[in-house]
Structure 1
Amino acid sequence: MSRILVTGGTGYIGSHTVVALQQAGHTPVIVDNLSNSNVRVLDQIEKITGEKPEFHEFDLCDEQRVRAFVAANPDISGIIHFAAYKAVGESVQQPLKYYHNNLFSLINLLNAYAGKPVNFVFSSSCTVYGQPDQLPVTETAQVKQAESPYGNTKQIAEEILSETAAAFDNYQVISLRYFNPVGAHESALIGELPLGVPQNLIPFITQSAIGKRGPITVFGDDYRTPDGSAIRDYIHVVDLASAHVAAIDLLEQGNPNGNYDVFNVGTGTGNSVLEVIRAFEASTGVKLDYQIGPRRAGDVEQVWGDVTKSTEELGWKAALGIEEMMQSAWKWEQYLKANPLS
């Protein structure tokens, strides 16, 4: 089967996708600079699949290293590009850090593969929709001004990819617009492993529940939502990983929609922050300590996706619900307490 470059492959979504690729018969090749991940994840993947993935440690912002890697690996037929900074709040505080890393890494990859046939799956985000005018949001919805520098890097990256695919017939590109990935592999051997204080809700919930963090802060309870807290479409990371395999498979078969395409990847339903807290308590039996704080800069009030196109054209649909998300995330946190990876 095909050799697939997975940038950021030791990270949260990347590691689960590496597992899914191996189980589907592909051969993933990881490039990661370990800026927000742990090299021991490679051993964890091997425990799940029985095969340790090939790994190269370097920064994709280093153009010469990227070119040398591409020259040394001419048989790679596909790329799944995860490598990017992703914290919305941090991007508001350090915008240049996000523009430099998230865009230069992409441009270096595209330049290095110029003239070579390649199937490219991009890790995009529902942040490209901003605050949608209508919900659920479809792939044809207007891409609005981003609410954060992080979101803007995803918008710019999609523009770069769309224009590159239009200019060069050898590029076949799919952008997967994720909603909110949560949960962990059923084995509890891999999961979200944030360095420092988590920027995302679920790892903060699990770290708070296990005693590693203090009370959870709900950023805002005055949004125009039923309980006042922000609403998101949460998707199990294992489902999200399978969407990447489906995207690679579609590109290898030849996407009838042309050289560039986008798909929403979510469950098609929204849950508020307070609903997620209650779901965690109900599915684990653990009581959470939380407090209400002010709104956080860069956050969108509510967004969830229409996933009809993914179901009908990508042949993919989320299978796991909020209970499985919460239970697997908690199981992973308990595993980490007993088996620290850091």
Structure 2
Amino acid sequence: MTITQTADTRQAPTAGTRFRLLLRKYYFAFALALFLALLITNLLVQRDFGWVQQVAVFAPLALAAMASTPAILAGRGGIDLSISPLMTFCSMVFATWLIPLGLGGWPSVPLILLLGAAVGLVNGLLTVLLRIPAVVVTLAMYFVLAGLSLRISPSTVGIGDNWVGEIDTGIAGFPGALVLILVPVIAWAVLSRTLFGRQLFAVGGNDATALSSGVGVRSVRIAAFALGGAIAGLGSFALLSVVHVADPGQSTAYTLLAIASVALGGTTLLGGRGGLLGSLLGAGSIFLVQSLLTVLKVPAQWLGLFYGGVLLVAVVVGALISRSGRTTS
């Protein structure tokens, strides 16, 4: 009896282990709590918050964060640094080529999504088939896309009287940018429950185990990069709606912020755990911090400290949670 009781006592998880397991199951819990706290604080500080305009300004960061998520979930350090310049490149193509060709209406959406997916596909092929680290490949693509955007036009290009311009003003009081944000969230909610979604998490969690189970690890990782590229293509419309021009100088605007948002949202940078909802909440928290510090006239350098701290804490927490998953499985 004593031996049995001792064994049961040893098997009982500690409070720390239970907490890590809880975060593993509800990965976005911390980001949700932080987002709600920051939202309430902003509403108290800013009486005229302006929901429609705020959502429009927030949308590019939200979509950049969500676009960065699939490659990270696929594991093996799949950090895509080319998301922000890809959004800029797609916006330049839309404003400079599609609108003059009479393709600036709603039919341009699938074309831009395909363009984004194609760039993501190239990133995936180079990373997976040639076994080049994703950071190296996407950093190279970062410079390629930034250069192409400047080559298309070294200055801003207006979009004229176009449907994209209605996104930031809203439609009947409803934030048009919210539609752009909800599309990938809803699509992900469906996709994550499909075979591909399950395989993506399996590959990110342990690619050797996934491979032994018959999962096409390479094809899943390549598809993850393409999916991120398609979401970045959608993000280009959010980018255009903010200033109503395509600006080649915006290539670097969201690169690090997107990665920080993903990390803050609970997606482990080691892969296999997380999702677009967490990245959206992480982006929302960062945006609200920016807004709050601006209103309070806090020096901008504190933002850099916040982003760096977020990444550092997220990496450590992700490693601890992953370790708890291995030790309890």
TM range (shorter): under 0.3
TM-score, with length taken from structure 1: 0.26
Structure number with the bigger relative contact order (C-alpha 8 A, sep ≥ 6) is 2
Which has the greater radius of gyration? 2
